[in-house]
Structure 1
């Protein structure tokens, strides 16, 4: 296992592909770990250097005290620097999309392009996130798992046995790390920062996304001049799970368009 030591502890990551290949860095959603991308990665063009990591309090990374989206962006920048990567394409889903936007604003030199998937410049309200935190602190992640599955996945996927591992991944996540990440999302409004971005950006939504609906995602795309926007029909909040071929095709086209393959 690969680990980067940060001031707050160990950050687990995975680094695969040719060391001199164009690098793509993937950031996971709330309540998942780097296995989120397992079905998508084999569908990407060969020759890429693919880096995934577990943010604070998720997967095999250590937890920390309270943190912000800016702190998470700084963690991503530190990983890119530590691995000696040339400017990368950063693919962020949900909270990962918030991290990507903050990374592009705070550390533009490390990015060649940005994919914002199922995310927005501002997600939810402080009140809604506090209610989520309160529920987790009172009853654990298992108490909210069914409701989260309804927001994550379209009904056909929820009716299959494939749902169980994702519910288990969420329910077994560290509750403290999850709650702290909820607090970071609650405090984040990146609207002004995101409107200043001028790098190549692809924004992806899922038509059945109950966490970041297409209209919310598209509104963020409209903040960024020349950003491309696509909505995957029938997909929910995690299209890399429900519709990996469609998700990979959009990312591949973007990589080709900006000559990052």
Structure 2
């Protein structure tokens, strides 16, 4: 994957079934939307983590689009929308609804990874009628203060990107010239540091665990066994709080599971 992908028309925009995907679902927020797959199938909306963008779901989409309408987009501060400041999580949840409205989708299976999982939680809590099913992948529902320190290091120019990669990939994976680690390294290097820091500040203070008790939609909680942030213990607590949740553990997986364990996650989402 290139760090700034080109669409088939050479414009830098990812093309979709419906043509070039730049839209403005909310005034002042112009983003890239990919809408593909089975148009008569259930809709699935995929919400990426930080500082990634919609391409983080590339390994997963092929398994879904034969039977699902698959929607993904760049959140504020990320991808083609990196010049848009990251607001509060309620505004980010409203953006998801605005994209669904733009596409004429009444409700969807909402899937969120990491930071995107926190946005997905707010969609389920604040816009329950739009969520047919909720899937949370390697995310948190309680504050994670160390990310406030990481945000400060980004703003101060002292962040160690290789140390971050060491949380997600083995030394052998980081040494490969191509593959997931190389792709993520390029994402980290090219990310807007302030936008990334804004998203990390949100994760550092996000506190929505108690609210999950009111979520009526059936839910999946997908756990990476070796995740040091969205730990198995914390995600088990999320699963216990949700009224109708099934917990799935991915053995040997780390935080960026959608990039490396897409087939296993797809099996959960299609079940």
Normalized against structure 1, the TM-score is what?
0.89
**Deviation of the 1:174 alpha carbon:** 1.1
List gaps (5 residues or longer) in structure 1.
Answer: 254-261
Counterpart Cα distance in 1 of 2:131 and 2:164: 31
**Cα deviation digits, residues 60-79 of structure 1 (max 9, x gap):** 11433451111110111111
Counterpart Cα distance in 1 of 2:68 and 2:220: 18
Task: Name the counterpart of 1:187.
Answer: 205
Higher relative contact order (CA 8 A, sep 6+): 1
Which secondary structure state, in structure 2, belongs to the residue aligned with residue 230 of structure 1?
strand
Task: Name the counterpart of 1:211.
Answer: 229
Task: Name whichever of 15-24 and 200-209 sits farther off.
Answer: 15-24
1:61 to 63, 77, 81: 81
Task: Name the counterpart of 1:3.
Answer: 22
Task: Name the counterpart of 2:52.
Answer: 32
* Maintained 8 Å contact 1:9/1:63: no
Task: Name the counterpart of 1:22.
Answer: 42
**Cα deviation digits, residues 89-135 of structure 1 (max 9, x gap):** 0110001110111000111111100000001212412xx23211111
**Cα deviation digits, residues 172-201 of structure 1 (max 9, x gap):** 111121111112222320022112112100
Task: Name the counterpart of 2:242.
Answer: 224
* Maintained 8 Å contact 2:141/2:209: yes
Pairing of 1:222-261 with structure 2 (within 5 A): 222-253=240-271
Work out whether 1:102 is the aligned partner of 2:118: no
Change (3 A) 1:192 1:62: same
Which secondary structure state, in structure 2, belongs to the residue aligned with residue 183 of structure 1?
helix
Pairing of 1:118-197 with structure 2 (within 5 A): 118-125=138-145, 128-139=146-157, 143-154=159-170, 157-161=173-177, 162=179, 163-197=181-215
Counterpart Cα distance in 1 of 2:168 and 2:235: 15
Counterpart Cα distance in 2 of 1:148 and 1:195: 33
Task: Name the counterpart of 2:10.
Answer: none
**Deviation of the 1:81 alpha carbon:** 1.2
Task: Name whichever of 162-171 and 11-20 sits farther off.
Answer: 11-20
Counterpart Cα distance in 2 of 1:250 and 1:31: 25
Which secondary structure state, in structure 2, belongs to the residue aligned with residue 182 of structure 1?
helix
Please report the RMSD computed on the Cα atoms of aligned residues, expressed in angstroms: 1.8
**Deviation of the 1:234 alpha carbon:** 0.9
**Deviation of the 1:223 alpha carbon:** 0.6
Which secondary structure state, in structure 1, belongs to the residue aligned with residue 104 of structure 2?
coil
Counterpart Cα distance in 1 of 2:227 and 2:269: 19
Change (3 A) 1:66 1:52: closer
List gaps (5 residues or longer) in structure 2.
Answer: 1-19
**Deviation of the 1:218 alpha carbon:** 1.3
* Maintained 8 Å contact 1:150/1:210: no
Tell me how many residue pairs correspond in the alignment. Answer: 249
Task: Name the counterpart of 1:84.
Answer: 104
* Maintained 8 Å contact 1:69/1:185: no
* Maintained 8 Å contact 2:60/2:262: yes
**Deviation of the 1:159 alpha carbon:** 4.8
**Cα deviation digits, residues 128-172 of structure 1 (max 9, x gap):** 2321111101117xx332222122335664454421111111221
Counterpart Cα distance in 1 of 2:65 and 2:35: 16
* Maintained 8 Å contact 2:225/2:252: yes
Normalized against structure 2, the TM-score is what?
0.86
